[in-house]
Amino acid sequence: MENGHVGRPRLLLDRVRDRIRFKQYGIRIDWAYVAWIRRFILFSWQAASNREGSAAGNCWANREIQRD
């Protein structure tokens, strides 16, 4: 149980949003950080799949970015 949530673990982007809001950053900073992290995850997944020739990370990447 983390922060009152029971069940499946929270997504990375949700945890980032919560941390940014906890630190009381602006809404545009929130959007910018989440967008940057999303692009980084997608780039990393594409680079790994091109390098290895497999789509093993596809499920993980989709789960991480599905919220937005």
Domain edges within the chain = 12-65
Which pLDDT does position 18 carry in this prediction?
Answer: 93
> How many alpha carbons fall within 13 Å on the CB side of residue 49?
14
- Distance between CA atoms of residues 44 and 32, nearest Å: 18
Is the pTM higher than 0.85? no
Placement of tokens 């599905």 in the chain: 66
Measured at the CA of 33, the angle between CA 24 and CA 36, to 5 degrees, comes to: 180
Which pLDDT does position 44 carry in this prediction?
Answer: 84
- Tens place of pLDDT per residue across the chain (68 aa): 455 556 777 888 899 999 999 999 999 999 999 999 999 988 887 777 766 655 555 565 666 566 55
Which pLDDT does position 8 carry in this prediction?
Answer: 76
